[in-house]
Amino acid sequence: MKLYIADGNPHCIKVLAALDLTGVKCDIETVSHEEKVVPHLSHPVLPVLLLPGGQHLFSPNSICQYLFDVSGQAATDATNQWLEWEATHLQPAVLQSLHMVALQGKRAEAAAVMKEPLNWLEQNLSKKNTPFLIAEAVSVADVVLWAALYPLISDSGFDAGELRTVHGWFDRVGDLAACQTAAHKVLHGKGVEALKTFLQKHPVTHHRDSPTNNTEAEDAEHVMTVEEIEEAAQVWSAGLKGSPASTERKHPILPQEGKRNVLLTSALPYVNNVPHLGNIIGCVLSADVFARYGRLRGWNLLFVCGTDEYGTATENKAREEGLTPQEICDKYHAIHAAIYQWFQIDFDFFGRTTTERQTEIAQDIFWRLHERDFLLEDTVEQLRCESCQRFLADRFVEGECPHCRYPEARGDQCDKCGRLINAVELRNPQCKVCKQTPVIRSSKHLFLNLPKLEDELEQWLNKSTSAGDWTGNAKHITRSWLRDGLKPRCITRDLQWGTPVPHEDFKEKVFYVWFDAPIGYLSITANYTDQWEKWWKNPQQVELYNFMAKDNVPFHSVVFPCSLLGAQDNYTLVNHLIATEYLNYEDTKFSKSRGVGVFGDMAKDTGIPSDVWRFYLLYLRPEGQDSAFSWSDMALKNNSELLNNLGNFINRAGMFVSKFFDGHVPEMLLNEDDKRLIAQVCWELKQYIQLLDKVRIRDALKCILNISRHGNQYIQVNEPWKKIKGGDGDRQRAGTVTGVSVNVACLLSAVLEPYMPTVSHTIREQLQAPPTCAGAMLQAAGTFICTLPAGHRIGTVSPLFQKLENEQIEALRKRFGGQQPEEESVKAKTPSSSSAAVETKPSAGAAQDASLNVNADPERAKQLTALVTEQGIKVRGLKTQKAEKSIIDEEVKKLLELKKQLSLAEGKNPEPAAQKGKKK
Amino acid sequence: MALRELGSLERFLGLKKPNKYSTQGGKKVPVLQNNNGPALIGLVTIASHLVREAKRPELLGDSAEQRAVVQQWLEHRVTRLDNYAKEEVKVILKELNQYLEDKVYLAGNVFTLADILMYYGIHHIVVELAIQEKERYLNVTRWFDHIQHYPGVRHHLPPVVVLRNRVYPSGHH
């Protein structure tokens, strides 16, 4: 057994006294205040008793109780009650008054704080009429209470008042040798003075609902040195001098000698769908934050993106909507552009892949690969519909399953038996468009010879991943591709909607979208400027960042670099590959067909400002692990972080200037408290920069919130609204606190700019901040400077955020919660609806999901799948025959029940389906 | 709040006659009026008293060591959980989470009064946690779920769903 104590720690008095009094044998080790003895506690806590069984006791009272217990004096109701009172009532008061006595020299106020608990003690003692708290003999309660009071009552300047019984009892306990030794061992006869260090390190915790003096957020355990504080204060006071004027963006942006030239791309969103929140946070929004940050840092930066428009899915969509592929692209390109504009994604250029430049560049790369012998030919057997004059992609063929004879098997998989099918094996295949029978044709295709490029790729990867900032998942996914060995990869397709393959033997074919799409980065840049090669064929000067979700990694780290390496034209290859994990929606995934989730075009309709959306998505950014969007959490974060923390602070700071100082920033005379705050804020700013330099966008956002948290505490402790009514000294104080606060608000506007551009701009407008302030503070490692000097006139201050009410959020949850899955799937099975894509049949994806779950029963799921399909056909049949409603309802009910069982067997939560069933 | 808690504890302990409680002071400290002795004041004091009255001393710990650990968490409940600044919630959860990493119950392998009172005291925090926070403090939610399903404990509090199945979206493009 071992007891850890520290000099000058008041809690050690009681445990040492108890140890001596009970005579329990135990080693004692004196450690420093900073020593972390208990592994699970994040702050150092002393004293600590290491029990023989290996557990740590870190509550002084429990240690004392334990020592008495092992020496035969078990706890009673009476001792429990005193110990509980000591911990909940006496101790907080004692610590508060010790602070006042030792650090502030306010003995009178300290006595006032102690009045209530001491009176309570006096009352109880005088009622009892025993020499000690409980009986004739000393108990654990006496030791604990005496030790708590000792430093105060033994202080000569502290007037405890007329408390005769308390004094009698106090002296009686204090006469015990064990108590005297313990007190001396901790205080060395220096009284309260000896506790100074301890008290400085343990700020008083006020009671609930009042912000604490100095409680640091979880991960901000930074302790300031005196030098650090002084330096921060000096830099701050020097103010805005000789800072570079903010440079206007002038298009076209081109690499410049002697600058950091950053080329930034966000994965090209596929044009045939409206992007959902997961797509937005995964690429364009993340890239936008980094682009805005880079521009603030003064980098010469170009941010390009565009819609990826070629491929089967577009052709398909065009057929569905009765438009030409080009019309579909035009329509959806505009939708995408509008959504990103609403989200304030500040592209330098937002282009598209269906341009002449795309054809030129893709064909050039193709010829270079061809000339250098990096392409292979191979023959592939495929179904071709003669009446439609085209080869059929798997999802365009239906036929009889070769295994189970199910008549409506798809080209890739049978829905009945679930087996994977090669489309050419289907019996009686049918073209889904014209219902004619396709024929088997062999078709010649080109393959990129990845194995031949593997060595070169690996060399480049080693360099890029070690020198650049690749996210963990990006490195991991890339490594696993290489470990399995690369195989030749088909780069052509028998389609019409694509970049034509220029080779004679491959007329009628287009490039496979994944060969083609990344070339879009180059062609979009080429559409932005004729001098695009200064960016894309300039690895010496240019640093390339790719932003994407993790499913896109292999194409950016393996396939596309191989195309560029093989083309041997000094291309700029990716230096930093930033991939996010997935964002889930509530407890499910985003699903367009089920109407679950929020899609880009709907975010606007929620009435929640774009900046708040940006904030919450970035707060949730699936950085390092998946995360989940939740409405209630969004409301919580809006109300607690934006409204109560950030908005509250900025608004208070501005309001004080307007109300108390007529809109002019007051004179500031910094004392230690102010300098400490400045240093703390400066430290957070440096963290922010370090994190964002490494593209840790979500983590850096926490620094911003920490800054305003520090600011709020600072205002709360210094109470300028009270001081302004006081004498000259107090008014001076109020001025300084207000001036420092409003400057912190100005810094907040700068660091917020990448995350919430509108709010950032509004703050600067309200404060009339100089335009160069943001750039000046975000240079180099980051400097917090007084950008609003005394006398500066601010504008009109108004609140920045609005509360999100519960009812509002509930309504949104309902609206976007996917309430119609059953109806929709039933509807989809009626013949009137031609779209097969909405059918909620279990696909390979669903089977995969189920395998993640321990409760899943794949065998049962397979049987149920068949039953569900059968029942679905039955319902459909009844509906076409216009059968009686009651009969249809009966069968629909059976269908729902089966689906519920299927969900269970797949290990999914059947809840929504079940509720729906009841409602019907 | 504390009074409903004591009511639930009485039912858990199977005490026949419900006691009469009052409260004292601004912090509404519970008081138990005792016919044959002075009043008992304080949640921990009264709860420990009830446990002894119900002849379930094992709920306070079987050895001096265990008793001390139970005592420590009971104190933690009334000092930390009943009186914290908003921004301390994370620290409280983080520390508890780390503590519970290798433990089933607060006192190790046996269920004690510490689990009951800590559960009552932390309920209002856990209820408010977002899904991802619950996952972050996995040991806390595991322990919490365990205690709320411990027969007879929950009574006056609504159940909290703490874990969920994760469904990953399939790749998009």
Q: DSSP label at A704?
A: H
Average pLDDT, chain B: 86
Predicted confidence band of residue A901 (pLDDT cuts 50, 70, 90)? confident
Q: Directed axis angle between helix A226-238 and helix A672-693, to 10°? A: 90
Residue in chain B closest to A120 (alpha carbons) equals B25
At residue A539, the 3 state secondary structure works out as: coil
Question: Residue A160: what pLDDT?
Answer: 77
Q: How far is B156 from chain A (nearest CA, A)?
A: 24
Residue closest to A508 by CA, chosen among A356, A396, A391, A355: A391
Q: How far is B155 from chain A (nearest CA, A)?
A: 25
Nearest to A589 among B42, B86, B169 (CB): B169
Residues 90-149 of B with CB under 8 A from A: 90-91, 94-96, 98-99, 101, 108, 128, 130-132
Nearest to A87 among B78, B98, B128 (CB): B78
With CB atoms and an 8 Å threshold, state whether B76 touches A630: no
pLDDT digit string, tens, across residues A849-895: 333 333 445 566 666 777 777 777 777 777 766 667 777 777 777 77
Nearest to B165 among A626, A630, A909 (CB): A909
Residues on chain A touching B130 (C-beta within 8 angstroms):
630, 632-633, 636
CA distances from A92 to A88, A197, A204, A379, B136 (A): 7, 18, 8, 82, 31
pLDDT digit string, tens, across residues A249-262: 899 999 999 899 99
Least confident stretch, A214-223, A419-428, A496-505, A879-888: A214-223
What is the mean pLDDT of the segment spanning A169-179? Answer: 92
Chain centroid to CA A424: 47
Q: Are A623 and A474 in contact (CB under 8 A)?
A: no
CA atoms of A679 and A187, how far apart (whole Å): 32
Residues 3-32 of B with CB under 8 A from A: 27, 29
Question: Residue B100: what pLDDT?
Answer: 94
Question: Residue A126: what pLDDT?
Answer: 85
Question: Residue A205: what pLDDT?
Answer: 55
DSSP collapsed to 3 states, A610-670: HHHHHHHHHHCCCCCCCEEECHHHHHHHHHHHHHHHHHHHHHHHHHHHHHHHCCECCCCCC
> Which of B40, B135, B167, B168 has the highest number of chain A CBs within 10 A, making it the mutation to test binding with A?
B167
Number of other CB atoms surrounding residue B13 within 10 Å: 18
With CB atoms and an 8 Å threshold, state whether A85 touches B42: yes
With CB atoms and an 8 Å threshold, state whether B95 touches A41: yes
What is the mean pLDDT of the segment spanning A666-682? Answer: 93
Q: Which residue has the higher pLDDT, A332 or A315?
A: A332
A909: pLDDT strictly greater than 70: no
Q: How far is A766 from chain B (nearest CA, A)?
A: 29
Residue closest to B107 by CA, chosen among B63, B49, B144: B63
Least confident stretch, A420-424, A586-590, A886-890, B80-84: A586-590
| CA pseudo-torsion sign A534, A540, A542, A548 | positive
What is the mean pLDDT of the segment spanning A386-396? Answer: 80
Q: How far is A260 from chain B (nearest CA, A)?
A: 32
CA atoms of A696 and A471, how far apart (whole Å): 9
Residues on chain B touching A643 (C-beta within 8 angstroms):
none
With CB atoms and an 8 Å threshold, state whether B168 touches A65: no
| CA pseudo-torsion sign A605, A608, A611, A613 | negative
With CB atoms and an 8 Å threshold, state whether B84 touches A40: no
% of chain A surpassing 70 pLDDT? 88
Predicted confidence band of residue A754 (pLDDT cuts 50, 70, 90)? very high
pLDDT digit string, tens, across residues A120-144: 898 888 887 788 998 888 999 999 9
Question: Residue A857: what pLDDT?
Answer: 57
| Beta-carbon contacts below 8 Å between A and B | 166
Residues on chain A touching B83 (C-beta within 8 angstroms):
88, 92, 205, 207-208
Question: Residue A548: what pLDDT?
Answer: 94
With CB atoms and an 8 Å threshold, state whether A587 touches B131: yes
Residues on chain B touching A77 (C-beta within 8 angstroms):
40, 45, 48-49
Residue closest to A346 by CA, chosen among A753, A676, A895: A753
What is the mean pLDDT of the segment spanning A817-840? Answer: 37
Q: How far is B165 from chain A (nearest CA, A)?
A: 7
Residue closest to A458 by CA, chosen among A481, A425, A435: A481
Predicted confidence band of residue A612 (pLDDT cuts 50, 70, 90)? very high
A829: pLDDT strictly greater than 50: no
pLDDT digit string, tens, across residues A630-661: 888 899 999 999 999 999 999 999 999 999 99
Q: Are A286 and A621 in contact (CB under 8 A)?
A: yes
> Which of A62, A94, A284 has the highest number of chain B CBs within 10 A, making it the mutation to test binding with B?
A62
What is the mean pLDDT of the segment spanning A599-609? Answer: 88
Residue closest to B60 by CA, chosen among A76, A22, A68, A47: A76
Predicted confidence band of residue A587 (pLDDT cuts 50, 70, 90)? low
Q: Which residue has the higher pLDDT, A34 or A303?
A: A303
Residue in chain B closest to A50 (alpha carbons) equals B65
Say if residue A211 is preceded by a cis peptide, omega within 30 of 0.
no
Predicted confidence band of residue A33 (pLDDT cuts 50, 70, 90)? confident
For residue A229, give the amino acid letter. Answer: I
Nearest to B90 among A65, A207, A218 (CB): A218
CA atoms of B45 and B37, how far apart (whole Å): 14
Nearest to B132 among A88, A92, A628 (CB): A628
pLDDT digit string, tens, across residues B12-48: 999 887 788 888 877 788 998 876 678 899 999 999 9
Nearest to B75 among A61, A69, A206 (CB): A61
A446: pLDDT strictly greater than 50: yes
Residues 34-93 of B with CB under 8 A from A: 40-45, 48-49, 64-65, 67-69, 71-72, 75-76, 78-79, 82-88, 90-91
B164: pLDDT strictly greater than 70: no
Q: How far is A493 from chain B (nearest CA, A)?
A: 17
pLDDT digit string, tens, across residues A761-775: 999 999 999 988 888
Question: Residue A36: what pLDDT?
Answer: 86
Predicted confidence band of residue A244 (pLDDT cuts 50, 70, 90)? low
Nearest to B83 among A59, A207, A278 (CB): A207
Q: What is the CA radius of gyration of chain B?
A: 18
Burial of B147 (0-12, 13-18, 19+ CB in 10 A): buried
Residues on chain A touching B95 (C-beta within 8 angstroms):
40-42
Least confident stretch, A96-100, A367-371, A701-705, B127-131: B127-131
Question: Residue A592: what pLDDT?
Answer: 60
With CB atoms and an 8 Å threshold, state whether B169 touches A69: no
pTM for this model (two decimals): 0.58
What is the mean pLDDT of the segment spanning A196-223? Answer: 53
CA atoms of A97 and A110, how far apart (whole Å): 4
Q: DSSP label at A169?
A: H
Q: DSSP label at A424?
A: G
CA distances from A35 to A5, A42, A45, A490, A605 (A): 10, 11, 8, 62, 54
Question: Residue A882: what pLDDT?
Answer: 65
Predicted confidence band of residue B161 (pLDDT cuts 50, 70, 90)? confident
Q: Are B120 and B8 in contact (CB under 8 A)?
A: yes
At residue A254, the 3 state secondary structure works out as: coil
Q: Are A897 and A884 in contact (CB under 8 A)?
A: no
For residue A693, give the amino acid letter. Answer: D
> Which of B87, B96, B138, B160 has the highest number of chain A CBs within 10 A, making it the mutation to test binding with A?
B87
Give me the DSSP letters along B46-97.
HHHHHHHHTT-GGGG-SSHHHHHHHHHHHHHIIIIITS--GGGHHHHHHHHH
Q: How many residues does chain B have?
A: 173
Q: How far is A37 from chain B (nearest CA, A)?
A: 13
Residue in chain B closest to A855 (alpha carbons) equals B165
% of chain B surpassing 70 pLDDT? 91
Nearest to A77 among B45, B83, B166 (CB): B45
Nearest to B85 among A75, A212, A589 (CB): A212
With CB atoms and an 8 Å threshold, state whether A552 touches B108: no
With CB atoms and an 8 Å threshold, state whether B41 touches A81: yes
Contacts of A96 (CB under 8 A, 6+ apart): A110, A113, A204
Q: DSSP label at A320?
A: H
Question: Residue A844: what pLDDT?
Answer: 34
Question: Residue A593: what pLDDT?
Answer: 60
With CB atoms and an 8 Å threshold, state whether A40 touches B87: no
CA atoms of A892 and A916, how far apart (whole Å): 12
pLDDT digit string, tens, across residues A789-824: 999 999 999 999 999 998 998 888 888 875 433 333
With CB atoms and an 8 Å threshold, state whether B64 touches A69: yes
Question: Residue B156: what pLDDT?
Answer: 82
Q: Which residue has the higher pLDDT, A290 or A239?
A: A290
Predicted confidence band of residue A628 (pLDDT cuts 50, 70, 90)? confident
What is the mean pLDDT of the segment spanning A614-643? Answer: 90
Q: How far is B153 from chain A (nearest CA, A)?
A: 23
Residues on chain B touching A65 (C-beta within 8 angstroms):
67-68, 71
Residue in chain B closest to A907 (alpha carbons) equals B165
What are the φ/ψ torsions at residue B154 (nearest 5 degrees)?
A: -65, -50
With CB atoms and an 8 Å threshold, state whether A75 touches B131: no
Nearest to A59 among B72, B83, B108 (CB): B72
With CB atoms and an 8 Å threshold, state whether B172 touches A853: no
Question: Residue A392: what pLDDT?
Answer: 82
Reported ipTM: 0.93
> Kind of pairing, strands A27-30 and A2-5?
parallel
% of chain A surpassing 90 pLDDT? 52
Residues on chain B touching A626 (C-beta within 8 angstroms):
166, 168
Give me the DSSP letters along A735-801.
HHHHHHHHHHHHHHHHHHTTT-HHHHHHHHHHHT--TTHHHHHTSTT------S-TTPBP-------
Q: Which residue has the higher pLDDT, A584 or A874?
A: A584
Question: Residue A413: what pLDDT?
Answer: 74
Question: Residue A747: what pLDDT?
Answer: 96
Residue with tokens 């135990």: A26
CB environment B19-57: b (16+ within 10 A), e (fewer) = bebeeeeeeebbbbeeeeeeebbbbbbbbbbbbeebeee
CA atoms of B70 and B88, how far apart (whole Å): 23
Question: Residue A245: what pLDDT?
Answer: 59
Q: Are A879 and A826 in contact (CB under 8 A)?
A: no
With CB atoms and an 8 Å threshold, state whether B169 touches A75: no
